[in-house]
Amino acid sequence: MINTLFLPELREMLAEGNAEELSEFCTALHPARTAEFMEGLERSEAWRVIQHAEQGLRAEIFSYFGHDRQLEMLEQEDETQVAQLLNAIPADDAVDLLSGIGEERVKRLLSLVPTADRRDIMRLQSFEEGTAGSIMTTEAACIDEKLTVREALDQLSRQAEKLETIYYIYVLDETKHLRGVLSTRMLVSAIGKPDTTVGELMDTDIVTVHPDDDQQQVAQIVAKYDLLAIPVVDEQRHMLGIITHDDVIDVVLEEATEDVQRIAAVDPLEDSYIRTAILTLAWKRGMWLGILFVGALLTAFALRYYEGDFEAYGWLVLFIPLVIGSGGNSGAQSSTLIIAAMATGDVKVTDWFKIVTRELATGWLLGLFLAALSFVPAVLLAPDQWAALVVPATILLVVLCGTFSGSALPLVFSRLGWDPALMSNPFVAGINDILGIVIYVAIARLILG
Amino acid sequence: MINTLFLPELREMLAEGNAEELSEFCTALHPARTAEFMEGLERSEAWRVIQHAEQGLRAEIFSYFGHDRQLEMLEQEDETQVAQLLNAIPADDAVDLLSGIGEERVKRLLSLVPTADRRDIMRLQSFEEGTAGSIMTTEAACIDEKLTVREALDQLSRQAEKLETIYYIYVLDETKHLRGVLSTRMLVSAIGKPDTTVGELMDTDIVTVHPDDDQQQVAQIVAKYDLLAIPVVDEQRHMLGIITHDDVIDVVLEEATEDVQRIAAVDPLEDSYIRTAILTLAWKRGMWLGILFVGALLTAFALRYYEGDFEAYGWLVLFIPLVIGSGGNSGAQSSTLIIAAMATGDVKVTDWFKIVTRELATGWLLGLFLAALSFVPAVLLAPDQWAALVVPATILLVVLCGTFSGSALPLVFSRLGWDPALMSNPFVAGINDILGIVIYVAIARLILG
């Protein structure tokens, strides 16, 4: 729902060129709300409004515009103004945005950005998507360990306005090696002892990550240690940048969505659902549907192989969907539970024995329950009660196979270094389809002779 | 993997009662690592070690022990020491822990906790699980708006050590109404202007939540506004507490796991997978398997209704799993994509027209692709090429039905106020099973006469 409350006033202010009121509009509210109130404006109107905010605030308001609007602004608006904006937004966000617009334009814009910022942006551009390097920001609060608490506070005060976060302060030596870390809270606590030095206060046991580390791993570390930010260092412990808590929440959300997509047999979308082109969507779904399709085709040939049995006992055909479905559903439950538990770190591959025995135990309970449920309709549709036993006996075995393969396959794939979320469900489905038919016919032959 | 590096030394220190070295061990490392190094100790040994840390640090190290060990400590160790610990950990965490131990013990422990903390804990206990109130902490940095920057820093310094977070400072009036908020970064930036007052610096446009708000909604707000903490206020804007960024990450992870479980037709587990009892696991899976089972049973009766058709054209039976599977898989893809996009706020129910048309367009592409794939085996298994056309025609229609029902049902359930993640997949599966059979027979009759 677009908020139209301020639109007429804003347009009037723009028409009059009323700089004072426009600048007041920009400062009065939380930047996120300011951006919301401008949703109904044309792109170029919104751009003109935020030119009346001072640089830092302008970048903040801009960060709350929709992604498409942001890209259009970078692409279309005045180059000098855009370069100023790029200069004010965190380098990691700038890299993200620049990857969405034309190369020629990027070159021209970067040539207008001050050298130091340009270098930061270009360095970040070199890290692969999904790594710690790609989500870090190069700007962090840094001080010298010889400073006293009072001096450190003064220096921090001068850095505070330019930085995305000042809640950890990093202590570097002359060659940019990371020596220690100090939280602003520790520094503020020490105000009563103004002559203490930073070196005395700082922690030297620092949790760090490398730029090539996987972003999901980084998120897990940050969640485990309850950090607000984590420093990124190279092999020689040179400080490269920090990853802040808000980027970590974004990573957690992004990875969760991707896992869900993989579980539903969709190759992870790079963009949001609604922004993904139909052809891309069809491709990312079609490839896995194709694999599942081949599995189901094999089932068709298995059925053909047993055609004689199904012709002799026609009523067996009625329960084919039930048999296949029971194995598939219980297998999908198992594999999904195990994949989710591995993703959050609840279980590891080394817990395999415990996991598989738990799943087999659960499989017995579920199998007996579904077998009992299936006996009634089986008696109704089969020629006699003895023959009807084929159905519950099959269901029990099929559910056991489902929970076993559903728990074992993610562990095996994970052990082989393959992505269990991506591989497990199609394989579990395929295996259970065929096994279901084989078990069904084997039991029918045993009971019906 | 349990780290055994320090175990012999720690045990020796304990045996000797070497208070100095034990207290050094507790302070030397990050509390999370200190806790890790003690994993190999017996519960009571670890408890004795942390008694050598000062109260705040002791609570921090304790927070990194495993959940089971924490509960055992609260249950078994000396009551006075445990009460001291409860006093030092944030009230929201204390409430979580106390809910896991015996009522009698809780009463005795609470009677040993200072009155103010006891009241905090008991107030938090009254909020329902999953609400903002249940994850908030009652301790926040608060100052008076008449203070100058210098005075505010001094006061913050005195509060800093006791508090979980000091990165936002809340300005309350005499009756505890929330008047404004100031970030520590703003305060530190203003060190150069020491006579400015808090009232002049503070923001009065504050994003707040109510204690009864859903925790997932809170997490979305925090992520949207990139906050480190969010205040919880009642109807009259009295400040009740704050929710901090680490609790928000936990909520995001918890809700993502629950959504994945719902999508796999598992009723969300309250505990981690590995800690859930087998019977609970079987119950939470069995109820949904039962519902899916009923859907598949209806398919059995549908097949029975069409028995004559399948007897006349026996080869049609071979493709039943393929037909049902194609509808089910493409439907599950659609509903899962829509559910995930709604959970992250990418799409809303009001976007229904766009969503359904996108899914139908994708459905055409996927349907044509799978239909083409199916034509070859159909020619191999059917009596002639004309008859073989039944299979691709059915697959195309079934995939269209799958993507349509898979996109429409989550929207309908969401509009009705039901949980789309929980309801959609079983219903989509059930509907597509039956529709698949109906479409198959209808097309067979049309083509085969």
Residue contact A256–B253, C-beta within 8 A: yes
Task: Estimate to the nearest angstrom the gap between the alpha carbon of B435 and the chain centroid.
Answer: 34
Instruction: Supply the pLDDT for residue B3.
Output: 67
Decide which of A259, A291, A315 is a domain's last residue: A259
Strand partners, B233: B239
Enumerate the residues of chain A whose CB falls inside 8 A of the CB of residue B332.
264-265
pLDDT higher for B123 or A11?
A11
- Cβ-Cβ contacts under 8 Å for B336 (sequence gap 6 or more): A260, A261, A263, A264, A266, B263, B425
In a domain, A223, yes or no: yes
Q: Say yes or no: B313 and B441 in one domain.
A: yes
Instruction: Supply the pLDDT for residue B246.
Output: 81
- Cβ-Cβ contacts under 8 Å for B322 (sequence gap 6 or more): A293, A296, A297, A299, A300, B374, B391, B395
Q: β-strands A239-244, A229-233: how paired?
A: antiparallel
Element (H, E) at B180: strand B178-183
In a domain, B264, yes or no: no
Residue-averaged pLDDT of chain A: 88
Q: Could you give the angle at the alpha carbon of A99 between the alpha carbons of A98 and A101, nearest 5°?
A: 65
Report residue A146: phi and psi, to 5°: -85, -10
Confidence category of residue A2, pLDDT binned at 50, 70, 90: low
- Cβ-Cβ contacts under 8 Å for A104 (sequence gap 6 or more): none
Task: Give the distance from residue B108's alpha carbon to the nearest chain A alpha carbon, in angstroms.
Answer: 31
In a domain, B135, yes or no: no
The candidate with the shortest Cα–Cα distance to B319, out of B388, B369, B384, is B388
Residue-wise pLDDT tens digits, A295-338: 888 888 888 899 888 888 889 999 998 999 899 889 989 998 99
Q: Say yes or no: B329 and B443 in one domain.
A: yes
**Token pair of B134, please?**
């249940």
Q: Say yes or no: B163 and B197 in one domain.
A: yes
A contact test, residue of B159, B293, B305 with most A CBs within 10 A: B293
Handedness of CA B268, B274, B280, B281 (dihedral sign): positive
Residue-wise pLDDT tens digits, A345-393: 778 888 889 999 999 999 999 999 999 999 999 999 888 989 999 999 9
Q: Which of A158, A260, A362 sits opposite B282 (nearest CB)?
A: A362
Chain B from 209 to 238: CB within 8 A of any A CB: 222-226, 228
User: Above 90 in pLDDT, residue A396?
Assistant: yes
Identity at B161, one-letter amino acid code: E
Task: Give the distance from residue B448's alpha carbon to the nearest chain A alpha carbon, in angstroms.
Answer: 20
Q: Which of B300, B340, B365 sits opposite A381 (nearest CB)?
A: B300
Report residue A177: phi and psi, to 5°: -70, 140
- Cβ-Cβ contacts under 8 Å for A406 (sequence gap 6 or more): A330, A331, A332, A333, A334, A335, A338, A359, A424, A428
Q: Using CA atoms, how far apart are residues A27 and A58, in angstroms rounded to an integer?
A: 10
User: Above 90 in pLDDT, residue A398?
Assistant: yes
Task: Indicate the number of domains in chain A.
Answer: 3
In a domain, B81, yes or no: yes
Residue A264 contacts residue B332 (beta carbons within 8 Å): yes
Residue B78 contacts residue B48 (beta carbons within 8 Å): no
Task: Give the distance from residue A108's alpha carbon to the nearest chain B alpha carbon, in angstroms.
Answer: 31
Report residue A229: phi and psi, to 5°: -160, 155
In a domain, A132, yes or no: no
Residue B187 contacts residue B169 (beta carbons within 8 Å): yes
**Token pair of A295, please?**
């599995």
- SS3 (DSSP) at A320: helix
Q: Say yes or no: B231 and B356 in one domain.
A: no
Q: Using CA atoms, how far apart are residues B300 and B305, in angstroms rounded to an integer?
A: 9
Q: Say yes or no: A227 and A334 in one domain.
A: no
Instruction: Supply the pLDDT for residue A125.
Output: 81
Enumerate the residues of chain B whose CB falls inside 8 A of the CB of residue A318.
300-301, 303-304, 307
Element (H, E) at A231: strand A229-233
Q: Say yes or no: A113 and A152 in one domain.
A: no
Q: Say yes or no: B300 and B413 in one domain.
A: yes
Q: Say yes or no: B123 and B154 in one domain.
A: no
Residue contact B299–A310, C-beta within 8 A: no
- SS3 (DSSP) at A276: coil
Whether A282 has its CB under 8 Å from any CB of chain B: the answer is yes
Q: How many CA atoms lie within 13 A of B398 on its CB side?
A: 37
Chain A from 287 to 326: CB within 8 A of any B CB: 289-290, 292-293, 295-297, 299-301, 303-304, 307, 310-311, 314, 317-322, 324-326
In a domain, A135, yes or no: no
Instruction: Supply the pLDDT for residue B2.
Output: 61
The candidate with the shortest Cα–Cα distance to A378, out of A306, A296, A318, is A318
Residue contact B317–A321, C-beta within 8 A: no
Residue contact A317–B303, C-beta within 8 A: yes
Q: In this structure, what CATH number is given to the domain that contains residue A228? A: 3.10.580.10
DSSP conformational letter for B421: H
- Cβ-Cβ contacts under 8 Å for A193 (sequence gap 6 or more): A149
Structural domain boundaries, residue A418? 273-448
Instruction: Supply the pLDDT for residue B232.
Output: 94
DSSP per residue over B275-298, as a string? GS-HHHHHHHHHHHHHHHHHHHHH
Q: In this structure, what CATH number is given to the domain that contains residue B16? A: 1.25.60.10
Q: Say yes or no: A120 and A195 in one domain.
A: no
Enumerate the residues of chain A whose CB falls inside 8 A of the CB of residue B319.
300
Q: What is the pTM of this model?
A: 0.74
Report residue A141: phi and psi, to 5°: -75, 125
In a domain, B263, yes or no: no
Q: Say yes or no: B172 and B100 in one domain.
A: no
Residue B113 contacts residue B194 (beta carbons within 8 Å): no
Residue-wise pLDDT tens digits, A204-222: 888 999 999 988 889 888 8
Q: Say yes or no: B109 and B154 in one domain.
A: no
In a domain, B261, yes or no: no
- Cβ-Cβ contacts under 8 Å for B31 (sequence gap 6 or more): B57, B60, B61, B63, B64
**Token pair of B266, please?**
């598992």
Q: Say yes or no: B402 and B442 in one domain.
A: yes
Q: In this structure, what CATH number is given to the domain that contains residue A283? A: 1.10.357.20
Q: Cα dihedral angle (B251, B252, B254, B258), rounded to 10 degrees?
A: 130
DSSP per residue over B388-419, as a string? HTHHHHHHHHHHHHHHHHHHHHHHHHHHTTS-
Task: Estimate to the nearest angstrom the gap between the alpha carbon of A105 and the chain centroid.
Answer: 30
Each residue's pLDDT expressed in tens, for chain B with a length of 449 residues: 466 777 888 888 889 888 888 888 888 888 888 888 888 888 889 999 999 998 888 998 998 888 888 999 998 899 889 998 988 888 888 888 888 888 888 888 888 888 888 888 888 888 888 899 988 888 888 888 899 998 998 888 888 777 777 889 999 888 888 999 998 888 888 888 888 999 999 988 889 999 999 888 898 888 888 888 999 999 888 999 999 888 888 888 788 888 888 888 888 887 788 888 888 888 988 888 888 888 888 888 888 899 888 888 889 999 998 999 899 889 989 998 898 888 777 788 888 899 999 999 999 999 999 999 999 999 998 889 899 999 999 999 999 999 999 999 999 998 998 888 877 888 888 899 899 999 999 999 999 87
Mean pLDDT, range A99-119, rounded to an integer: 86
Decide which of A231, A259, A287 is a domain's last residue: A259
Decide which of B224, B254, B284 is a domain's last residue: B254
